Structure 1
Amino acid sequence: MSKLSEPQQLDALYKEAHPLALKKEIDALEQHAITFIKHCPFMIMSTSDENGFADVSPRGGDAGFVKVVDANTLAFSDLPGNNRLDSLRNIVERPEVGLLFMIPGIGEVVRVKGTASLHTDKDTLELFAEDNKPPKLVVKIQVHKLLFHCPKAIAVAKLWSEENKVERSFLPSLLAIIQDQVSE
């Protein structure tokens, strides 16, 4: 057996999950998740494209750029970018999303599964206005499940350690990379 094709094959390789690991997935935001998200400057959002492939996009801002609307709703404004709109198009067609919230220096992450929707109503946009300039749209997430994920991956990667930071000199600028890729 080299390629696994049945869930039972996984069960044969791994021990049963600890009951607490199974119970930790909850249906709504609670005090600790709310506190974490309010202090979070970085999130990764997963959507799926028209072919069913996962598409992952980083999102960032000042701590609290994702607002907790209520125990079942999160929201954030879409910031100007390259205008590919991959994630936004995916949300319109397939609204199921996964979110991964990360805070530099903290090993635990918060995982959220939910249903996203895009909003342009004046009241919602004004909640995210900066210097009296509202965003073009706001993404709302109806939370279905969330859990705190253990810090093992962050610890093994030494993601937040100063001695593990990599100097960028081995990699050209993003513009140079894209130019090389599209000229081939």
Structure 2
Amino acid sequence: MSQISEPKQLDELYNEAHPLALKKEIDELEQHSITFIEHCPFIIMSTSDKNGFADVSPRGGDAGFVKVLDSKTIAFADTAGNNRLDSLRNIVERPKVGLLFMIPGIGEVVRIKGTASLHSDNETLDLFVENNKPPKLVVKISVHKLLFHCPKAIAVAKLWSETNKVERSFLPSLLNIIQDQTQASS
């Protein structure tokens, strides 16, 4: 098959989207998306790097680590990581983000497109204090679009199936992987 380079070529390959599939994208949080977010312990955040490439980063915490501030705004604390700050730098320079909310055992996911900003004021930090310690900063996202995505990909991957879990033994530790990769590139 030749490379697809025009949207028209896609239209020739696929049927039109069902009207409900198009209509399900909404522009603010409502009761079901709020409930989903309040129970969600894991998100994947997409930003864009300085070269225009998508950059994807996982974020996690106890269910509800992402807080709904109002029908157009969500927020989460930045937690300690490797200090590369890729996503945070991307947000400062190119604030458009995509988020994928996932709950173990639930097939559906929530997708959000929005504009992110970083905040370090005490009032915002105080919303995320843990063990009497505020975070260094909070990521706020102004929601532009959201939708519930069907569970087909998670079902096909059997992502939440106990019988589909992979034994880690085929892969060395992350430290060994990084050491091997950095020695190979020296």
Q: Secondary structure at the match of 2:57?
A: strand
Residue 82 (1) aligns with residue 82 (2): yes
* Structure 1 counterpart of 2:151: 151
| CA distance in structure 2 between the partners assigned to 1:96 and 1:142 by the alignment | 10
| CA distance in structure 1 between the partners assigned to 2:173 and 2:128 by the alignment | 31
* Structure 2 counterpart of 1:134: 134
| CA distance in structure 2 between the partners assigned to 1:13 and 1:109 by the alignment | 26
5+ residue gaps, structure 1, are none
| CA distance in structure 2 between the partners assigned to 1:129 and 1:163 by the alignment | 38
Residue 45 (1) aligns with residue 83 (2): no
Alpha-carbon shift at residue 131 of structure 1 (Å):
1.1
Alpha-carbon shift at residue 122 of structure 1 (Å):
0.3
1:85-124 matches, within 5 Å, as 85-124=85-124
Identity %: 83
TM-score, normalization by structure 2: 0.98
5+ residue gaps, structure 2, are none
Alpha-carbon shift at residue 134 of structure 1 (Å):
0.2
* Structure 1 counterpart of 2:10: 10
Encode CA deviations 1:104-163: one digit per residue, 9 max, x unaligned.
000000000000000000000011011110000000000000000000000000000000
| CA distance in structure 2 between the partners assigned to 1:151 and 1:78 by the alignment | 28
How many residue pairs get aligned? The number is 184
| CA distance in structure 2 between the partners assigned to 1:68 and 1:143 by the alignment | 10
Runs of 4+ residues over 4 Å off in structure 1: none
Matched residue type, 1:32:
H
Alpha-carbon shift at residue 21 of structure 1 (Å):
0.1
Encode CA deviations 1:80-116: one digit per residue, 9 max, x unaligned.
0000000000000000000000000000000000000
TM-score, normalization by structure 1: 0.99
Matched residue type, 1:107:
G
